[in-house]
């Protein structure tokens, strides 16, 4: 028996977007604009920062597993605290779901090119990981329903989806749900729901609860707290109860919990974020289309651009990098011809557009042969 299980040995590690520091160092640039990880360009919620500062003098004490935040969220959504879990980012909770509910013979089902964080976590468990293709860059829920078998245990749906930004409607979900057996768990990842909920098509899953659905949300995106690691989930109390058994007992940290609680009060910051993002998305849709690019219809804080080829995508990515604009190439997602670009401040958005326009106009200036 090898020391390292085969599933881990063969696992491709999570490749996060490049950090600003790494690019600054590599190219000796003074200014870096990171539009690669769907972060909030306004920085963290000021109320959250204040609350974290205030929480620091109690950090000699163990935290309470996010109890206050769970209570607050339960109140906000008219649920019981037993229906709510808090953790180290939504990925922290996702890791618990994989650990709690998957047995060796179970299978995971999702779309091709799913959110990379989920791919890595699910594959690390060594179970069969099955996917169906997108249709027009949207989840093909009909095909997914048809692919469910006796072994399907977890069905992962991100709405909006990363990396495409596309959403599915409530009617599409309802039709899909009819085919899902009660022994299969639907993991509904709503990391970007605050951006999407303005859309009349968007099915806020809090308005329809099923016993085998777990909804995950996060403070990493719209509240600008990606570095703090705080996320939450809603589900039937039996699911939450079992998840709580295996959750690391002292996650989230007391500092992260304080940040989350205060962020929920920061309505002004939330509105500013959404307003800026709406302007950025409008600009991206119009300006990238004007450059002759396909812009996948996104309801999140990023757009995906399928390029003419993987070589063109690589050239654009590398040209932008040299100019200090970091975007996300999607090779790790299995889409080497696609790029994903987050909205930034309007100045950052304009700078990025100019750089893309130059890269496309002079594709050979920087070469992509390396």
Ligand X SMILES: Cc1ncc(COP(=O)(O)O)c(C=O)c1O
> Which lies closer to ligand X via its Cβ, residue 95 or residue 184?
95
Nearest to 151 by CA among 123, 177, 176, 128: 128
Closest CB to ligand X among 90 and 205?
90
Among 38, 113, 166, 253, binds ligand X (CB under 6 A): 38
The residue from 131, 162, 277, 301 that contacts ligand X (CB under 6 A) is 162
Q: Give the nearest distance from C-beta 355 to ligand X in angstroms.
A: 23
Q: Which is nearer to ligand X, 125 or 328 (CB)?
A: 328
Contact string (CB under 6 A) for ligand X, positions 67-106, x = contact: ----------------------xxx---------------
162 vs 298 by CB, closer to ligand X: 162
Q: Are 14 and 120 contacting, i.e. CB atoms less than 8 angstroms apart?
A: yes
Which CB atom, from 218 or from 315, has the smaller least distance to ligand X?
Answer: 218
Window 173-192: contact mask with ligand X (x via CB under 6 A): ----------------x-x-
Q: Which of 117, 260, 324, 329 binds ligand X (CB under 6 A)?
A: 117
Q: 109: which 2 tokens?
A: 């089902």
For residue 20, the surrounding DSSP H or E stretch is: helix 20-27
Give the separation between CA 152 and CA 175, rounded to whole angstroms.
Answer: 18
If binding means CB under 6 A, how many residues of this protein chain bind ligand X? 14
Cβ-Cβ contacts under 8 Å for 199 (sequence gap 6 or more): 167, 299
What are the phi and psi torsion angles at 51 (to 5°)? -65, -35
Cβ 264 vs Cβ 86: under 8 Å: no
- Show the tokens assigned to 188: 């509904």
Q: Which of 83, 113, 220, 254 binds ligand X (CB under 6 A)?
A: 220
Nearer to ligand X, 302 or 315 (CB): 302
Question: Dihedral, CA atoms, 252, 86, 162, 205, nearest 10 degrees?
Answer: -170
- Rounded to the nearest 10°, the torsion over CA 346, 347, 348, 354 is 110
Residues lying near ligand X in the complex (CB under 6 A) are found at 38, 89-91, 115, 117, 158, 162, 189, 191, 218, 220, 226, 231
């Amino acid at each position: 028996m090898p020391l390292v299980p085969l599933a881990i040995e063969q696992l491709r590690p999570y490749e996060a977007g490049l950090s600003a520091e790494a690019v600054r160092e590599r190219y000796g640039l003074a200014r870096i604009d990171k539009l690669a990880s769907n972060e909030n360009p306004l920085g963290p919620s000021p109320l959250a920062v204040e609350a974290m500062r205030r929480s620091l003098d109690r950090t000699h004490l163990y935290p309470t597993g996010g109890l206050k935040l769970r209570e607050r969220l339960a109140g906000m959504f008219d649920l019981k605290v037993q229906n709510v879990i808090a953790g180290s980012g939504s990925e922290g909770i996702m890791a618990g779901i994989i650990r709690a509910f998957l047995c060796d013979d179970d299978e995971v089902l999702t779309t091709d090119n799913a959110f990379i964080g989920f791919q890595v976590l699910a594959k690390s468990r060594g179970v069969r990981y099955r996917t169906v293709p997108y249709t027009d860059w949207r989840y093909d829920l009909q095909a997914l329903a048809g692919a469910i078998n006796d072994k399907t245990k977890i069905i992962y749906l991100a709405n909006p989806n990363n990396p495409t930004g596309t959403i599915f409607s409530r009617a599409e979900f309802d039709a899909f749900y009819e085919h899902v057996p009660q022994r299969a768990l639907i993991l509904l990842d709503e990391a970007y729901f605050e951006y999407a909920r303005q859309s009349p098509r968007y099915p806020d899953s809090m308005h329809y609860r099923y016993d085998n659905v777990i909804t995950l949300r996060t403070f990493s995106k719209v509240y600008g707290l990606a570095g703090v690691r705080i996320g939450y989930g809603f589900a039937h109390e039996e699911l939450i109860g079992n998840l709580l058994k295996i959750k690391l007992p002292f996650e989230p940290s007391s500092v992260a919990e304080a940040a989350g609680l205060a962020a929920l009060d920061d309505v002004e910051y939330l509105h500013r974020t959404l307003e800026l993002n709406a302007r950025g998305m409008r600009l991206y849709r119009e300006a990238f289309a004007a450059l002759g690019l396909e812009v996948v219809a996104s309801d999140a804080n990023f757009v995906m651009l399928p390029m003419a080829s993987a070589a063109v995508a690589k050239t654009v990515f590398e040209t932008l990098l040299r100019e200090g604009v970091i975007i996300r190439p999607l090779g790790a997602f299995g889409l080497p011809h696609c790029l994903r670009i987050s909205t930034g401040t309007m100045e950052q958005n304009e700078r990025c557009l100019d750089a893309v326009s130059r890269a496309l106009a002079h594709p050979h200036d920087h070469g992509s042969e390396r």
